[in-house]
Amino acid sequence: MWKILRQVTRAGIASEPPPEPDDALRTPAHAVQAELLATLGRALAVRHVDAGSCNACELEVHALENPYYNLEGLGMRFVASPRHADLLLVTGPVARNMELALRRTWEAVPDPKLVVAIGDCGLGCGLLGENYATRGAVSSVIPVDVAVPGCPPPPLEILRGILTAVQTAAVTRP
């Protein structure tokens, strides 16, 4: 136990300040969703769905959970069930073999809900594109509020995308 405590103390607090939201990342659908968000609770529950990624985006979503980004400190957490989620974080391209599962996961998230698509493939501009096995962009299967480019987007950009999606709700909270 002594070694654990010593290591905890020695490593110190690694959390860094969060990025500023970026209006440039908004899609038109988001403006409507933002008003609905005001009715949500304080903490943001995020459900991640890999709809066809190469796993690089997942590595960076994992990195978002490391102490540097202090996600729970900002009032966000990843949840195990779409029933508990306010926001879906989706990577793509959407494999046709995952299309039904993605739709069902989206349907299982209670309204009002937000969708953030991350990664070039999820935006339909990645190397993997659309073909016999993929639908391409996440927005071709479910409505997307905010789209974060990158191959893969680094954790800070993923966080910026999430913050952009919830910005209005955050402002209207007491």
As measured in angstroms, the least distance from the Cβ of 121 to other proteins is: 8
DSSP for 117-164? EESHHHHT-SSS--BTTB--SGGGTS--SEEE--SSPPHHHHHHHHHH
Tokens describing residue 117: 């698509």
User: Is residue 137 a contact partner of residue 51, using CB atoms and an 8 Å limit?
Assistant: no
Q: What residues between 87 and 146 interact with other proteins by CB under 8 A?
A: 93, 95-101, 105, 126-129, 131-134
* 68 near other proteins (CB under 8 A): yes
As measured in angstroms, the least distance from the Cβ of 140 to other proteins is: 14
As measured in angstroms, the least distance from the Cβ of 168 to other proteins is: 26
As measured in angstroms, the least distance from the Cβ of 5 to other proteins is: 10
* 154 near other proteins (CB under 8 A): yes
* 14 near other proteins (CB under 8 A): yes
Q: Is 95 helix (H, G, I), strand (E, B) or coil?
A: strand
Amino acid at 45: A
Strand partners, 91: 50, 118
The footprint of other proteins (CB under 8 A) covers 3-4, 7-8, 11, 14, 48-63, 65-68, 78, 80-82, 93, 95-101, 105, 126-129, 131-134, 151-152, 154
